[in-house]
Chains A and B, each alone.
Chain A
Amino acid sequence: MVQSLRDVGKMTVDDMMCMHCGACVGTCPENAIFLNEVFITINEDCNQCGLCMRVCPVGAMDYPVGHKLSQLG
């Protein structure tokens, strides 16, 4: 497992890749992502729709390891 990979509940974020740009925050249909400018958190409203993964300009978001839609292998 990549060291910078962090489990944020229903999704994972690679903190090393994350640009803290907020693209996922503004896109989330449940308004479940919060960015305090240092790291993102995801609350229980997340329904794993995957839009944050698709919108992320640098590919830092993914489903958790083991999830059937995860591209983390």
Chain B
Amino acid sequence: MHYDVVIVGAGPAGSITAKYAAQGGASVIMLEKRQEIGSPVRCGEGIAREWIDEVGIKLDRKWIAHEVEGAKVVSPNGNSFCINERIAGDEVGTVIERDLFDRALVEDAVRAGADVMVKTAVTGLIKDGGVKGVVADSPRGRLEISAGAVVGADGFESQVGCWGGIDTRLKPRDVTTCLQYRMTNIRPDPDYCEFILGSGAPGGYVWVFPKSEESANVGMGMQLWKLKKKGELRYWLDKYIEKDERLKGGKIIEIVSGAVSTCAPIDKTVSDGLLLVGDAARMVDPITGGGIANACKAGRIAGEVLAEAAQAMDFSEEMLTKYEKGWRKRLEEALFRNWMAKEKLVTLSDETFDKIIEVLARENLDHLSVLNILKVIQRELPELVEEFMDLI
């Protein structure tokens, strides 16, 4: 078997890459190790509406579980401020059914001409100078597929990069481990996706994303270096749930676990015949831990460059560097700034969070960006400015 482009992983990054590459005339196959696209879900399921046009996704009732007005950020003392969804960033606006969302994206890619195989786990790369294909285990036995280029869209647990000589390993400071319960028989605020800060989730936050009036995704992310004991995250999440009155009597109908990278942008995402996209390329927003938006934005750029590469029959690092330049131009500055801000945020005390949120609650921010927040801090809390100066 031979394809211009073999994509490892059929999540959002892989599907969008596949769609744009196939649309541009490349022959494309996506290999997904799960037996079912999108399932089991590993996601908080909050996304914004504003970026989906950019990557050619059409809103579809099928995969929207619930719509919210915005985000509510809650400080340790219970104070909060709300932000309208139009300005709340990439993860707020709709709460989706992620399995259905992923399936819709794969269907779009297939419509554009891509092939897909499920229950097919890539176990290694074929190399001859550059990367020339993949080896995979499938229900039909061992497969070898040669390719012009291999795309690592294999998520947080990406191994394609490491196998191909691109170092994607993470420091414990830059790994956030997450546990989420889908709960029902609870009373979440149906109008807001909540982000709850403070020492209840050391070095991270708790999220409550409503999926209906009486159910929500209740999760917690914590930085790996803050965790010492086995299974400690579950202890912290259970402890939070116990003290939140709205969640009393709630029943857990789904457990979701996983991890995300919260690192600075990595140095390299392409080499001869190899390209990384999405969480595999460590493109997760280090503040929110959200990965879908950036994965899709970078996926479009990757797909377009791969189509061009297929036309030119040139999959060299030089050619693929167009993708690297493209995604950096689109995403790198914000990723880097948010990583710096995260490094600072994890050092703040509950009292400082309380102060910052009290100030922000009085403000009328026209756009919730890290930069805007920093400007408010600079003006209203000058005593904190020194800590944040290098970010402004």
Where the two chains meet, the residues of A that have a C-beta atom closer than 8 Å to any C-beta of B are 19-23, 25-27, 29, 31, 34-37, 51, 53-59, 61-62, 71
Inter-subunit contact B159/A31 (CB<8 Å): yes
Inter-subunit contact A51/B172 (CB<8 Å): yes
Q: Contacts A54-B224, A55-B259, A57-B259 known; A22 to B155 CB distance under 8 Å? A: yes
Is B199 an interface residue when CB atoms closer than 8 A count as contact? no
Inter-subunit contact B259/A21 (CB<8 Å): yes
The 5 closest A-B pairs by CB, nearest first: A59-B231, A22-B157, A25-B157, A23-B259, A57-B257
Inter-subunit contact B179/A27 (CB<8 Å): no
Inter-subunit contact A23/B258 (CB<8 Å): yes
Q: Would you give the shortest CB distance from B308 to chain A, in whole angstroms?
A: 30
Q: Contacts A54-B228, A57-B178 known; A25 to B34 CB distance under 8 Å? A: no
The residues in B between 142 and 168 inclusive whose CB is less than 8 angstroms from any CB of A are 155-159, 162-163
A36 neighbours in B (Cβ, 8 Å): 33, 121, 123, 137
Q: A26's contact among B157, B227, B256, by CB below 8 Å, is which?
A: B157
Inter-subunit contact A26/B261 (CB<8 Å): yes
20 contacts between A and B (CB under 8 A): A19-B257, A21-B259, A22-B155, A22-B258, A23-B156, A23-B257, A26-B155, A26-B158, A36-B123, A37-B34, A37-B119, A54-B172, A55-B177, A55-B227, A56-B231, A58-B179, A58-B231, A58-B257, A59-B232, A61-B230
Q: Would you give the shortest CB distance from A29 to chain B, in whole angstroms?
A: 6
A19 neighbours in B (Cβ, 8 Å): 40, 255-258
Where the two chains meet, the residues of B that have a C-beta atom closer than 8 Å to any C-beta of A are 33-35, 40, 42, 119, 121, 123, 137, 155-159, 162-163, 169-170, 172, 175, 177-179, 224, 227-234, 255-259, 261
CA distance A51 to B175 in the complex (A): 10
Q: Would you give the shortest CB distance from A67 to chain B, in whole angstroms?
A: 13
Q: Would you give the shortest CB distance from A24 to chain B, in whole angstroms?
A: 8
User: Nearest CB to that of B179 among chain A residues?
Assistant: A57
CA distance A55 to B175 in the complex (A): 8
CA distance A57 to B180 in the complex (A): 9
A58 neighbours in B (Cβ, 8 Å): 179, 231, 234, 255, 257
A71 neighbours in B (Cβ, 8 Å): 229-230
CA distance A53 to B156 in the complex (A): 17
Q: Would you give the shortest CB distance from B67 to chain A, in whole angstroms?
A: 28
B257 neighbours in A (Cβ, 8 Å): 19, 21, 23, 57-58
Q: Would you give the shortest CB distance from B128 to chain A, in whole angstroms?
A: 21
Q: Would you give the shortest CB distance from A70 to chain B, in whole angstroms?
A: 10
Inter-subunit contact B175/A27 (CB<8 Å): yes
CA distance A71 to B232 in the complex (A): 13
User: Nearest CB to that of B220 among chain A residues?
Assistant: A57
CA distance A25 to B162 in the complex (A): 12
Q: Contacts A31-B169, A36-B33 known; A22 to B231 CB distance under 8 Å? A: no
B224 neighbours in A (Cβ, 8 Å): 27, 51, 54-55
Q: Would you give the shortest CB distance from B240 to chain A, in whole angstroms?
A: 14
User: Nearest CB to that of B224 among chain A residues?
Assistant: A55
CA distance A29 to B329 in the complex (A): 29
Q: Contacts A26-B158, A27-B175 known; A54 to B227 CB distance under 8 Å? A: yes
CA distance A36 to B40 in the complex (A): 14
Inter-subunit contact A59/B234 (CB<8 Å): yes
Inter-subunit contact A57/B175 (CB<8 Å): no
A53 neighbours in B (Cβ, 8 Å): 230
Q: Would you give the shortest CB distance from B162 to chain A, in whole angstroms?
A: 4
16 more A-B contacts (CB under 8 A) besides A23-B156, A57-B259?
A: A19-B40, A19-B255, A19-B257, A26-B156, A27-B177, A29-B169, A36-B33, A36-B123, A53-B230, A54-B172, A55-B224, A57-B233, A58-B255, A59-B230, A59-B232, A71-B229
Q: Would you give the shortest CB distance from B32 to chain A, in whole angstroms?
A: 9
User: Nearest CB to that of B282 among chain A residues?
Assistant: A26
CA distance A21 to B233 in the complex (A): 15
